[in-house]
Structure 1
Amino acid sequence: MSKSENTLLKLEATLERIKQGKPKRIPTHRKLSVRAVEEEANLGNGSGYYYPEFIEKVKKTKADIAEGQGEIVQPEIQTVRTKLNEQKRIKNNYKEKYEAERDKLAIFAAAQHHLNDKLVKALARIDELEYENAELKEQLVKLKRSQIVPIKNRIE
């Protein structure tokens, strides 16, 4: 037997051992994959990929195990599409939230600008009123002083 045949036999025997739930090197809860079989068989990374029929056998075994546990087995492309749709949904959700918050921020900024404008106008009006008040006080003082009559003139 050639080295390639020995490796294939080793991989198939290891696959059967994993299928029976009696692995020696990997945990029993680990998902079945070509890499898991390679590690269990104590072979190098990628050794199983030289045997396309073995890869198909691993995929079929994985599907059989999943069906036996009551899981729905989806083709790989269907799984990828499902994940992609989920990511699109999440992205759209975040985008909607971002736009809503951006709109709130624009409204807040407009209100802030409006209040700032009113404050500036109010401060200008206060300055005008203070100036007018000062002028009126000066006029009042002048008026009161003009009404002062000297005391000498009254006694005569």
Structure 2
Amino acid sequence: MSKSENTLLVLEAALERIAQGKPKRIPATRKLSVRAVEEEANLGNGSGYYYPEFVEKVKQVKADIAEARGEYVQPEIQSVRLKLNEQKRIKQNYKEKYKAIRDQLASFAAAQHHLNDKLVQALAKIDELEFENSSLKDRLSKLKRSTIAPIK
């Protein structure tokens, strides 16, 4: 027997122990994964991935265990689609919030511009009224001076 065949046998024996709920090296409460099987088989990290059929077998056993517990296991493509749809929904939500805030900012800028224009007009009117007031005071003082009669 070659080394790769021995490794595969050790991995399958570890998978069987985990599936039966009687692991030797890992806690029985640990989730089933290729890495958990590798640790149970006392092999290095990633050594199970050299055997793609073994990885599929682990996935199948994991689905069988979940099904035995009454849990529904979604196919991988379906779960990826659900995640994608969720990401699209979140992105759309952010786009809508961004657009609303951008519109609000444009409204604030327009209001600010309008208020600034009104301020400039009010300042111009104040200057005009102050000039008119000073000219009226000058006229009033001249009129009062002209009505003063000399004392004899």
The TM-score with structure 2 as length reference comes to 0.92
- The offset of 1:16, in angstroms, is 1.4
- The alignment yields a C-alpha RMSD, in angstroms, of 1.4
Residue in structure 2 matched with residue 139 of structure 1 by the alignment? 139
- The offset of 1:24, in angstroms, is 3.5
1:51 maps to amino acid:
Y
Q: Decide which structure has the larger Cα Rg and report it.
A: 1
CA distance in 2, matches of 1:146, 1:70: 111
CA distance in 1, matches of 2:30, 2:85: 27
Residue in structure 1 matched with residue 105 of structure 2 by the alignment? 105
CA distance in 2, matches of 1:76, 1:147: 105
Residue in structure 2 matched with residue 78 of structure 1 by the alignment? 78
- The offset of 1:68, in angstroms, is 1.8
Residue in structure 2 matched with residue 124 of structure 1 by the alignment? 124
- The offset of 1:75, in angstroms, is 1.3
**Does residue 90 in structure 1 map to residue 90 in structure 2?**
yes
CA distance in 1, matches of 2:11, 2:113: 73
SS of alignment partner, residue 12 of structure 1 = helix
2:26 maps to amino acid:
I
Residue in structure 1 matched with residue 56 of structure 2 by the alignment? 56
2:103 maps to amino acid:
D
TM-superposition CA deviations, 1:79-135 (whole Å, max 9, x none): 111111110000000000010011011111101110111011001100110110000
SS of alignment partner, residue 110 of structure 2 = helix
2:4 maps to amino acid:
S
Q: Structure 1 stretches of 5 or more lacking a match?
A: none
CA distance in 1, matches of 2:97, 2:50: 49
CA distance in 2, matches of 1:25, 1:96: 52
2:89 maps to amino acid:
R
Aligned residues: 152
CA distance in 2, matches of 1:119, 1:24: 82
TM-superposition CA deviations, 1:59-78 (whole Å, max 9, x none): 11011011122221111111
Q: Structure 2 stretches of 5 or more lacking a match?
A: none
Residue in structure 2 matched with residue 8 of structure 1 by the alignment? 8
Residue in structure 2 matched with residue 69 of structure 1 by the alignment? 69
Percent sequence identity is: 82
